[in-house]
């Protein structure tokens, strides 16, 4: 297989910063032709740093367009006529003002798939909706961190990245349908969706989710971070078979069913904490993994990257994390991010 699975698919992107560009980079990695339509000053993420821009825009083409001008609008129509999809992440009012909806573009191509990636939905106004704001407003921050401390935000842009992936899925689903149309994906909706079982517990049974020490799982015991003689260990015991294997290695007895462990949560956690304190996190990982017990020492990003060199790729002068989608028999050709307007004269 020489061509990627999305070879022949052409996607236009009017993207800024993270969520939209991440969505289309995933498609570009899989062989789609992604044409990034940038304003005269370029995507503002170019000003953050070359490494930042490269991490979200490798393998794309760049066409510089002033969409507020008649010339820019004519060019947009020409590009839309010869494309499969358009993905845009801007405020809803700006999306409509610039004519970046299916309603506005269908006259050029009625099979065009238009994806609007917004904070709260295409019809729900322009309230500011950056990643951290959405994490705060949907309950994610309230669920994160030690219960004795303040709400906490994850150390990366989980809302932007998750919404980008969801938008890419919606785009591909509509292309597969063979029909054009408008796809509406919002950061708010995606993050509420990702709180799935927490939301179900509340909606069905009125159970309010709560923060637990060390990120403990609501339903499984023991399933959380534990301090060890050196470093922290993530232990995730999700069924009784795992517990039997772990208990045998750790020299523990009793609490053989999940129901027992849940009803005696504090007692179980005390025993497990004491047992894990006798060895280091790295050693526990080495002891438990061959048994099939889910466990991992907490690592830094640099340690994780050093341990997975196969995930590091080169795109021009940049070293980046490669695509997480592996297609057997095919390897992506990672190309560098485009210079602003690099393909003004070559994009059909």
**Going along 50-191, which residue ranges are E strands?**
61-64, 85-88, 113-118, 181-186
The dihedral built from the CA positions of residue 136, 142, 143 and 144, taken in this order, carries a sign that is positive
Helix pair 158-177, 19-29: axis angle to 10 deg:
50
- Residue 60 pairs with which residues in a beta bridge? none
Question: What gap in Å lies between CA 252 and CA 247, rounded to an integer?
Answer: 5
Query: Minimal CA–CA distance to 276: which of 266, 267, 264, 288?
Result: 288
- Residue 87 pairs with which residues in a beta bridge? 13, 115
Distances (CA, A) of 128 to 110, 124, 167: 31, 11, 19
- Decide: 242 and 250 in contact? Cβ < 8 Å: no
Query: Minimal CA–CA distance to 167: which of 339, 341, 14, 331?
Result: 14
Distant-in-sequence, close-in-space partners of 311: CB < 8 Å, separation ≥ 6: 305, 321, 322
Query: Minimal CA–CA distance to 175: which of 32, 42, 38, 79?
Result: 32
- Decide: 54 and 314 in contact? Cβ < 8 Å: no
Residues recognised as catalytic: 160
């Amino acid at each position: 297989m020489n061509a990627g699975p999305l070879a022949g698919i052409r996607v236009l992107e009017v993207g800024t910063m993270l969520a939209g560009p991440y969505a289309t980079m995933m498609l570009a990695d899989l062989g789609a032709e992604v044409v990034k339509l940038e304003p005269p000053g370029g995507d503002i993420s170019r000003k953050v740093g070359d490494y930042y821009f490269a991490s979200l825009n490798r393998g794309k083409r760049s066409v510089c367009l002033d969409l507020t001008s008649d010339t820019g609008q004519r060019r947009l129509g020409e590009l839309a006529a010869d494309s499969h999809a358009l993905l845009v992440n801007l405020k809803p009012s700006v999306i409509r003002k610039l004519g970046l909806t299916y309603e506005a573009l269908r006259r050029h191509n009625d099979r065009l798939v238009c994806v609007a990636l917004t904070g709260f939905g295409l019809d729900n106004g322009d309230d500011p909706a950056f990643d951290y704001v959405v994490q705060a407003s949907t309950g994610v921050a309230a669920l994160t961190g030690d219960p004795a401390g303040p709400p906490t935000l994850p150390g990366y842009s989980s809302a932007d990245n998750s919404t980008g992936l969801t938008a890419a899925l919606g785009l591909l689903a509509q292309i597969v349908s063979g029909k054009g149309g408008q796809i509406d994906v919002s950061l708010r909706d995606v993050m509420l969706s990702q709180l799935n079982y927490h939301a179900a517990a509340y909606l069905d049974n009125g159970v309010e989710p709560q923060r637990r020490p060390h990120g403990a799982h609501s339903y499984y015991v023991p399933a959380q971070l534990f301090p060890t003689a050196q470093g922290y260990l993530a232990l995730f015991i999700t069924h009784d078979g795992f517990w039997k294997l772990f208990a045998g290695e750790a020299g523990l007895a009793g609490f053989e069913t999940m129901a027992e462990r849940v009803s005696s949560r504090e007692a179980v956690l005390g025993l497990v904490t004491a047992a894990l304190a006798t060895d280091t996190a790295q050693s526990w990982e080495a002891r438990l993994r061959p048994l099939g017990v889910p466990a991992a020492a907490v690592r830094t990003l640099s340690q994780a990257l050093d341990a997975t060199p196969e995930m590091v790729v080169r795109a021009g002068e940049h070293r980046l994390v490669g695509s997480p989608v592996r297609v057997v028999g095919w390897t992506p050709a990672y190309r560098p991010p485009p210079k602003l307007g690099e393909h003004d004269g070559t994009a059909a």
